[in-house]
Amino acid sequence: MKTVRDYIRTIVDFPHEGILFRDVTTLFADPRGFRMAVDQLLAPYAGQRIDKVAGLEARGFILGGAVAHQLSTGFVPIRKKGKLPAATISEAYALEYGQAVLEVHTDAVQPGEKVLLVDDLLATGGTAEAGIRLMERLGAQVVGCAFVVDLPDLGGRRRLQGLGMQVHALCAFEGK
C-alpha cells in the first residue's frame, strides 16, 4: 500500500547544488495521493474546534484550502509582501541569505478564533513561525501546525514545539 511519501518526487541539486528538493506536485497530481494527504493532515484535528485554516504561500494554499473544505471552515491566505489588496499586518523572518516578509489581512481572523496552520514542508520553521506570529498578533490561537513533509535535520519541528505548537507531519526525509 502506498504512503504519502511514495507520491513525493526528489529532485537532486534544485534549486542549488547539494539540495534534495522534495517535490509535492506529484502528490497533488495524483487523486488518491492528494486525498490521502488531505485526510491525514486533518485527522488529528477532527472533532476539535477550528474556526479557520491558514495556508502559507504558495503550496499551503492548495493543501489549506482542501483541509478547510473538509473541516467546513474558512481559509486564510498568508502571503508574501505586497500580494494582498486590503489592510495588512506583516512579519519579517530570516532566510538563508537575507529576510522575507509575510502578510495577512487585518480582518482575516477574529480574536479568540482557533486556527490550524498548514503548509507543504517544514524545514527551519521560519516561515511557519512568521505565520504563527501573524495569527497571534490578530488575537487568534494557533491550535496546530500540519505539514506533508518534515525535514528534521533542519530543526523546524523543534523550533515550533519550542513555541508551544503541536506539530503534525505526514512523512520525513533526511538531509536538506
3-state secondary structure the chain: CCCHHHHCEEEECCCCCCCEEEECHHHHHCHHHHHHHHHHHHHHHCCCCCCEEEEECCHHHHHHHHHHHHHCCEEEEEEECCCCCCCEEEEEEEECCEEEEEEEECCCCCCCCEEEEEEEEECCCHHHHHHHHHHHHCCCEEEEEEEEEECHHHCHHHHHHHCCCCEEEEEECCCC
Please identify every residue annotated as catalytic.
59, 96
